[in-house]
A and B are shown apart, each in its own frame.
Chain A
Amino acid sequence: MSNVAGKAQALNVWTPTRRKGIENRIIFWVLPRFFKKKLRGLQTLSLIHYARWVIIAPKDFPNLGEGQPTEELRHHYECFLSNFNGNWDQYIDSFSMSLGTGLDMLWFKNVGFPNSVPIEPFHAYINANSIPTDHYYSAYPLAASNDVKAAQRVRDSLVTLAGSASGMSPKQFRQAYDDTIRKHQDDISRLDESVIVSLATEAVQNQARQEAF
């Protein structure tokens, strides 16, 4: 039971909306079309892999049958899913300070939402409404989303370089190689295990390693 895999942290937050989340759905539609600027922070914040906000109606909650009791849900729920690098407690300030007004719009009128600033009530709200991750897997435990994006850029360039290299003179190749290095000067940083962001996570991982032997 850990919300951490490799360099990624999972966050699942379920919060009840008002009026069937109609206003939220409008905001979700309008925001990326007409208020792109408000979301730029989300794209720039280099720790976020992705973030998604969805409204789920009571009838759309899954029921597996087999005797699972039916819930009596009074609200449409807003479901927030995110994967990001780093640790939630540590980066709460970054989310809140850099995306503040955007977050306030996305959680607009959700029951009990305290706004993203001040941070302590926001932090408590997210923690209280988040669902711990039962199973969380990372295919590239050494890579943060920045690293994956960088690797894709490097790969594309290398493929291009390799494809055109055979017809080049040594001098031309040198030039093309240097151009590639320059273009990717910050895409070729070291890839390694995450720094230890939480002593609890470190303990869980050490335990898992011991059990593997």
Chain B
Amino acid sequence: MTTFEIRSGVDLHDVQGNIIKGYGRYGFPVARYVTYRINAAVAGRTFIKLLVPMLTTSVPWSESGVVEEGTKQPPSTTNVALTYEGLRRLGVPERSLLSFPDEFVMGMRARASILGDVGASAPKNWDPVWQTEDGQQPVHLLVTINAESSDALAQRYEEVGLAARAANDVAGDSAGVQQLAGHRSAGGADAAFQDGAALRDEHGTPGPKEHFGYTDGISDPYYKDSGSRSSNVIGGGKRLRDSSPATDAGWAPLATGELLLGHTDEALEYPAAPVPSTLSKNGTYLVYRKLHQNVATFDRYAASEAAKLSMEENLFRAKLVGRWPNGAPLASFPTEAEANAFNAKLEQAKADRFDETATPTQRAAATERHLELKEQQSGFDYREDIAGESCPVGAHSRRANPRGSLEFGQDHAFSTPGALVNRRRIARRGLPYGDSSDRSVDNGDHGIIFMAIGASINRQFEFVQQQWMNFGNDFRLGNDQDALLASWPDEDIDPLRARMTFEVDPDGMEVPKICTGIPQFVETRGGDYFFVPSLTALSAIARGAVDPT
């Protein structure tokens, strides 16, 4: 029997693996999201009972270097999440149901006006699987599978399907749990599941790019006791005052309760959570959002608007997002030459790290180098760039994570520079889907399955989406919206409304560039709010043993 040490205040055995592990794009380049409807409580509970032993927990794998001996990284991972309607149909008692927060009870569709899901993003345009006839949430249970290969994925998918059939046999109801088709894909609108896959480079190697060509998923929040590498605190934790953002002294881990229910959060309290505590502890919420990307429109606009503003197109693309397409942050690497030089070093270190012909010592040294360089990708803030002359104030990644810049240069305005940010962080999971090699059309099958995880959908995801993506007041940018994600209620976008400013040095001689007539690049295609219970809670749900008394 192997033994291993968990250096953590969280029982990682109890926490589902998708919450803490990113299931990185290198180890798990393919994923499948399977949606179910629960028609019979017995079948649903039996399905969960059969799924529990298949689930992946958050215990670190031996390969990750955090523990010497531990569980080995499996060829595929499996996790399960439930909507409010799912919990209700599984027979979770009314008192527990009523203790869930409003937004979760309502579901994502009902929150469309809060989220700005209007026009092309409106729920009526979502994939068929998310459509509802009776006003209830159509999807009750979500199984997410990540895998190292298509074969491993197919095998695990088969096993999950067998579990569903076995559950229906037990219940004596062939539609007790019913897999819901209706995911739009290259083959039509009725796929039995949603696939996701890391985009591959010219050598076929899975990489970190998304369909607009940016390196994605660089900076993920870092939480106390999450068992991940401690240097990830740089850029991932909460910003501290008086230390450089390039060092780990400049950051501290976010409280575990920002990610997981049943643990203290940044407000020094337990996050509001459903009863009984055994139902909520070590669980969290997951926002599943399918976002279609209009790649042709994006390419066309980038080329024409860059020309109009007399800019290099790559710089234009970088200004929209706050990072160069290769991932280097504008705040640290304001010119393309600097960004490219940095990226070349990063790529070289990565290649050396995985170079099988090198000696272990060489590889260890390369690993160190690679990790140090990766720290530079996230170890920065906007304190030296308050006006936005390097990274525009309204750039996508700066909006999503202002990194303590909301003091607007007023040092010590707040007790901590991250006062307005620390409770708005979301762990991002998910992968691109589809193929965008034909860049001439918008209506192919390409986009991203965006998944956000956190202890409060309303305080974290909805706030960021509404106040920071769809509005500008917190950045003193009026109603300006995020250029990448803005949705518009009608087809004819007033060119002056869809705008973004690329600021310049206020004391310099340059003139700010203002892009206008930004078309809609991203369209919501469906999704919902899910609860990701702990393994303890799932077992209790499966046994019908949830009792809030």
Closest to B114 in A: A196
Contact (Cβ within 8 A) A47 B473: yes
The one of B110, B266, B477, B510 in contact with A97, judged by C-beta atoms closer than 8 angstroms, is B266
Residue pairs across A and B with CB atoms within 8 Å: the count is 138
Contact (Cβ within 8 A) A97 B422: yes
What per-residue 1/0 map shows which CB atoms of A140-161 lie under 8 Å from chain B? 0000101100100000000000
The interface centre, meaning the residue of A47, A101, A188 with most chain B CB atoms within 10 A of its CB, is: A188
Contact (Cβ within 8 A) B272 A182: no
19 new A-B pairs (CB below 8 Å) besides A97-B422, A199-B110, A199-B111?
A: A7-B473, A37-B412, A44-B406, A46-B406, A46-B474, A86-B467, A97-B419, A181-B512, A182-B508, A182-B511, A185-B503, A185-B504, A189-B477, A191-B479, A193-B479, A195-B466, A196-B113, A197-B466, A202-B113
Chain A residues, Cβ within 8 Å of B1: none
Closest to B470 in A: A195
15 contacts between A and B (CB under 8 A): A41-B415, A46-B473, A90-B467, A94-B420, A97-B266, A119-B269, A182-B512, A183-B506, A185-B501, A185-B503, A185-B506, A186-B477, A189-B478, A189-B480, A196-B114
Chain A residues, Cβ within 8 Å of B410: 40, 43-44
Could you tell me the distance in whole angstroms from the C-beta of A137 to the nearest C-beta in chain B?
Answer: 20
Could you tell me the distance in whole angstroms from the C-beta of B25 to the nearest C-beta in chain A?
Answer: 32
B249 interface residue (CB < 8 Å to A): no
Could you tell me the distance in whole angstroms from the C-beta of A129 to the nearest C-beta in chain B?
Answer: 20
Chain A residues, Cβ within 8 Å of B269: 118-120
Closest to B272 in A: A120
The one of B272, B419, B470 in contact with A94, judged by C-beta atoms closer than 8 angstroms, is B419
CA gap between A198 and B415 in the complex, in Å: 29
Contact (Cβ within 8 A) A146 B467: no
CA gap between A41 and B413 in the complex, in Å: 4
The one of B414, B459, B496 in contact with A98, judged by C-beta atoms closer than 8 angstroms, is B414
Chain A residues, Cβ within 8 Å of B467: 86, 90, 195
A99 interface residue (CB < 8 Å to B): yes
Could you tell me the distance in whole angstroms from the C-beta of B270 to the nearest C-beta in chain A?
Answer: 9
What per-residue 1/0 map shows which CB atoms of B501-530 lie under 8 Å from chain A? 101101010111000000000000000000
A192 interface residue (CB < 8 Å to B): yes
Could you tell me the distance in whole angstroms from the C-beta of A193 to the nearest C-beta in chain B?
Answer: 8
CA gap between A194 and B471 in the complex, in Å: 8
Chain A residues, Cβ within 8 Å of B327: none
CA gap between A24 and B371 in the complex, in Å: 53
CA gap between A147 and B267 in the complex, in Å: 30
B342 interface residue (CB < 8 Å to A): no
What per-residue 1/0 map shows which CB atoms of B381-410 lie under 8 Å from chain A? 000000110000100000000000011101
User: Count of A residues near B, CB < 8 Å?
Assistant: 47
A176 interface residue (CB < 8 Å to B): no
Chain B residues, Cβ within 8 Å of A196: 113-114, 466
B268 interface residue (CB < 8 Å to A): yes
A17 interface residue (CB < 8 Å to B): no
A93 interface residue (CB < 8 Å to B): yes
Contact (Cβ within 8 A) A97 B267: yes
Contact (Cβ within 8 A) A182 B413: no
B476 interface residue (CB < 8 Å to A): yes
Contact (Cβ within 8 A) A117 B471: no
Could you tell me the distance in whole angstroms from the C-beta of A108 to the nearest C-beta in chain B?
Answer: 17
Chain B residues, Cβ within 8 Å of A183: 506
A6 interface residue (CB < 8 Å to B): no
Closest to B505 in A: A182
B497 interface residue (CB < 8 Å to A): yes
- Ranked 9 nearest A-B pairs via Cβ: A189-B478, A118-B269, A98-B419, A44-B413, A98-B414, A192-B479, A185-B512, A119-B267, A97-B419
Contact (Cβ within 8 A) A47 B511: no
Instruction: Known A178-B511, A182-B512, A189-B479; judge A117-B267 contact (CB<8 A).
Output: yes
Contact (Cβ within 8 A) B497 A186: no
Could you tell me the distance in whole angstroms from the C-beta of B190 to the nearest C-beta in chain A?
Answer: 32
Chain A residues, Cβ within 8 Å of B407: 44
Instruction: Known A41-B414, A98-B414; judge A182-B478 contact (CB<8 A).
Output: no
B289 interface residue (CB < 8 Å to A): no
Could you tell me the distance in whole angstroms from the C-beta of B460 to the nearest C-beta in chain A?
Answer: 10
The interface centre, meaning the residue of B267, B510, B512 with most chain A CB atoms within 10 A of its CB, is: B267
Contact (Cβ within 8 A) A195 B471: yes
Instruction: Known A97-B419, A98-B419; judge A118-B479 contact (CB<8 A).
Output: no
Chain B residues, Cβ within 8 Å of A33: none
Could you tell me the distance in whole angstroms from the C-beta of B450 to the nearest C-beta in chain A?
Answer: 19
The one of A117, A146, A198 in contact with B473, judged by C-beta atoms closer than 8 angstroms, is A146
- From 68 to 119 in chain A, residues with beta carbon under 8 angstroms from any chain B beta carbon are 85-86, 90, 93-94, 96-101, 117-119
- From 162 to 203 in chain A, residues with beta carbon under 8 angstroms from any chain B beta carbon are 178, 181-183, 185-186, 188-199, 202
B472 interface residue (CB < 8 Å to A): yes
Contact (Cβ within 8 A) A44 B267: no
B370 interface residue (CB < 8 Å to A): no
